[in-house]
Structure 1
């Protein structure tokens, strides 16, 4: 009886294998997913104060790895998430750099004071020279973590890419604004210069007369105007960031990070190629209030579109936009108008962290079917960013992050001649699969019969169930 049972189990296994969907027939990456939670250096904020510092040599996973997920949030000393209506996370970014071995750098140093021969920026693959980060978002960060689908990953720590005599390290920039007790919360988060009483930038240079608000007015240690008589304690905060990764091996297909900016001033010329040197990304812009009197919704939408010639090619794996309050969505198109990826904001409607009313608490992401959207080198793409123009907004952003694979992942599976993708199965393939299955069943049945016969001839009887 045991031999019969083994035979039927073999039949069941063969049947299941032959009927597995292609996606389940992979011998995929079996690397363990590692998770680590890190804390930034502490920063202390009081009502109306601003933190916008760069921290160097911060914690990050070591070794040759492929990052699968990255997200972050502001917490207090007890580890509790801090709501946006108390501390607004304008943005946070994480970047890579290489420092010469033996050169000491602390988390509070400024790389600008280092000898240029000791410091090398390890930026992403994007076309904006001043947007070199790998990870980073803003108020939407809790619900918009970077997630890389299998079998792809963002590769770091490759010894072949680290310049000789250098080591890979990481930088973190946190821009947080404490809005407890301020006169105008939205005005503080949009860095309106009058609320900060700022007329010069952080280097002491006078601002343009028409500059009403933005990053130049809410730099580190500035102060937004607080209501008269309001008193609030200063408190210690941290950025808590969580990284998930696997060890890099041949089963992981690397992807590259590209960041586009709606304020990019690139213009196509007869000699242009789309390389970084031709791009000037201003990062922020203002939304002027609409003066239209019509009732149509599109009368109150600030729509911006730019064309970009791609200096690279590959397959789109993931995409997400970054916008500020007032944003109503962003998208990436082909030149013929085909939508490649769109990203829409989610606004909160409560008080609790992750659902703060009036704030963008999430941006939708897109995960195209691998291979469905290919970007050709030299192809023209259209970036679009939409904001509500019912009121004036200063210092808003229209960034778009995408992950691109140079090549599609090659599936590793057995039974190459039998297993087909479900979408490509034809009637003839079904017939041949049935013939193959019948043949296998016949062969196994003969084997079972022969083995059972031999056991009886040897004097053994099957034990009844």
Structure 2
């Protein structure tokens, strides 16, 4: 065998070996995912009661880690899943914050909320869903993760903690189940918000009418009763932080974000307070064709820093029929459509009432590097709701995880030439040592054959 053949053979063996080891590395990384399951403090409900609670310093994985997913559902004291037609999970939201170590109580003036990277000042959560939580994926694919617990980011004298907001509405024995979930003010007999401020003219339903401890009108004879303790059971998947993990940033966009668009570099500091909710008018009230009773709401949003879309999903309420995000040039970036239930059990509640999941579709789990948002790009967000009847208190939030551009290196180990793949291989020092030994054996064989006078190339002279 000539030297060229030996070289090709050795390179082939080395490439096959490195691919095999890389696959083992992925398996090892998947096996390294840790799972923690926790319960919120008890949620004491009765017929028609709305509770909107904030729980500080909840149990949560500690240390410098990468979040891979966060999921939640409402359960009873025995761990049984509670269907939406009994307790409607309006929303839950997970917030990250820094708290002074010396402070024993929850003094809001002394905590530092660590917001997501989105433009809305009043939407700071890291994760947040609602009725759709059971069938909505939140998994961050490899090699990406949400970095938390970095000691270099925590201010001196502070420690990282987590806050959970849970808004649940008991709809057993109520007069109008859909009306209670849409927080219609007439059903809650509310004329002022939770701070005692009179509701604005024309405000007929939404968060200002179903705040904590409000009561939705029950059927006659069921004004009181049905007390029970429920919990939000939340499951966190995470891995230990490693340099090979690519960090992603969380952006939560709101369809009600309609502030004036700044020009130039002003958008960097142009964070906004978003309305969070809105009302969808009935198509009868606007003279629309019954066959086209779809309320389409659009807004423009600027992101100061772009990157690759790794994940995306929308949050909609009853009546939602889908959402999409478009780039400045009109290219489609991501779509998310609701999944409506077809049964009775928790997670598949029937009828065109309960959204039991939001599909991420293939476009919202794109191949890394294939869907990109440029720095300062003007995005178009679109939310669609059915307007066959008026919808109150609906939401149009869009979550996206972005990975900022990473430096690339040339490596014959991977055609993708991505740093994490190369770095991961480098971390397997024993692989490189074994590969080096293999190359040394091949080189020795070539040298021996050359010394013996066989198998080498000879110059051709005409």
- Distance in 2 (CA, whole Å) between partners of 1:418 and 1:78 is 51
Aligned to 2:185: 193
The farther-off stretch of 333-342 and 266-275 is 266-275
Aligned to 1:435: none
Root-mean-square deviation (CA), in Å? Answer: 3.0
Aligned to 1:244: 237
Per the TM alignment, residue 323 of structure 1 is displaced from its structure 2 partner at its CA by: 0.3
Per the TM alignment, residue 128 of structure 1 is displaced from its structure 2 partner at its CA by: 0.3
Does the 8 Å contact 2:348/2:356 carry over to 1? yes
2:131 partner SS: coil
Aligned to 2:42: 42
The farther-off stretch of 201-210 and 67-76 is 201-210
Per the TM alignment, residue 421 of structure 1 is displaced from its structure 2 partner at its CA by: 5.1
CA spacing shift, 1:248–1:270, aligned 2, 3 Å? closer
User: Please, what TM-score do these two structures have when normalized by structure 2?
Assistant: 0.82
Which structure 2 residues correspond to residues 107-118 of structure 1 after superposition, within 5 A? 109=106, 111-112=107-108, 116=109, 118=110
Q: Does 1:206 align with 2:205?
A: no
1:161 partner SS: coil
1:194 partner SS: helix
Aligned to 2:348: 355
CA spacing shift, 1:293–1:304, aligned 2, 3 Å? closer
CA spacing shift, 1:419–1:283, aligned 2, 3 Å? closer
Does the 8 Å contact 2:258/2:300 carry over to 1? no
Aligned to 1:282: 275
- Distance in 2 (CA, whole Å) between partners of 1:256 and 1:157 is 15
Name which of 383, 386, 394 aligns with 2:384: 386
Structure 2 unaligned segments of length 5 or more: list them.
1-8, 418-437, 449-462
Which structure 2 residues correspond to residues 138-287 of structure 1 after superposition, within 5 A? 138-230=130-222, 232-270=225-263, 273-275=266-268, 277-287=270-280
CA spacing shift, 1:217–1:420, aligned 2, 3 Å? same
- Distance in 2 (CA, whole Å) between partners of 1:12 and 1:277 is 54
CA spacing shift, 1:319–1:274, aligned 2, 3 Å? same
- Distance in 2 (CA, whole Å) between partners of 1:314 and 1:23 is 26
Structure 1 unaligned segments of length 5 or more: list them.
1-9, 423-439, 451-465
Post-superposition Cα deviations, 1:275-296, rounded to whole Å, max 9, x if no partner, equal 4544230000000011346354
Aligned to 2:66: 66
Per the TM alignment, residue 303 of structure 1 is displaced from its structure 2 partner at its CA by: 0.3
Aligned to 2:428: none
Per the TM alignment, residue 145 of structure 1 is displaced from its structure 2 partner at its CA by: 3.5
Does the 8 Å contact 1:57/1:171 carry over to 2? yes
- Distance in 1 (CA, whole Å) between partners of 2:33 and 2:232 is 23
Aligned to 2:300: 307
CA spacing shift, 1:418–1:185, aligned 2, 3 Å? closer
- Distance in 1 (CA, whole Å) between partners of 2:201 and 2:44 is 32
Name which of 111, 118, 124 aligns with 1:119: 111
Aligned to 1:402: 400
CA spacing shift, 1:44–1:165, aligned 2, 3 Å? same
- Distance in 2 (CA, whole Å) between partners of 1:23 and 1:327 is 43
CA spacing shift, 1:276–1:239, aligned 2, 3 Å? farther
Does the 8 Å contact 2:262/2:270 carry over to 1? no
Does the 8 Å contact 1:68/1:153 carry over to 2? yes
Aligned to 1:337: 330
Does the 8 Å contact 1:370/1:408 carry over to 2? no
- Distance in 2 (CA, whole Å) between partners of 1:361 and 1:67 is 24
- Distance in 1 (CA, whole Å) between partners of 2:117 and 2:28 is 25
- Distance in 1 (CA, whole Å) between partners of 2:189 and 2:127 is 32
Does the 8 Å contact 1:50/1:176 carry over to 2? yes
Q: Does 1:87 align with 2:87?
A: yes
Aligned to 2:316: 323
Per the TM alignment, residue 209 of structure 1 is displaced from its structure 2 partner at its CA by: 2.4
Post-superposition Cα deviations, 1:356-377, rounded to whole Å, max 9, x if no partner, equal 1120001011111111122111
Per the TM alignment, residue 309 of structure 1 is displaced from its structure 2 partner at its CA by: 1.8
Aligned to 1:130: 122
1:273 partner SS: helix
CA spacing shift, 1:276–1:96, aligned 2, 3 Å? farther
Aligned length: 410
- Distance in 2 (CA, whole Å) between partners of 1:161 and 1:418 is 34
Does the 8 Å contact 2:283/2:290 carry over to 1? no
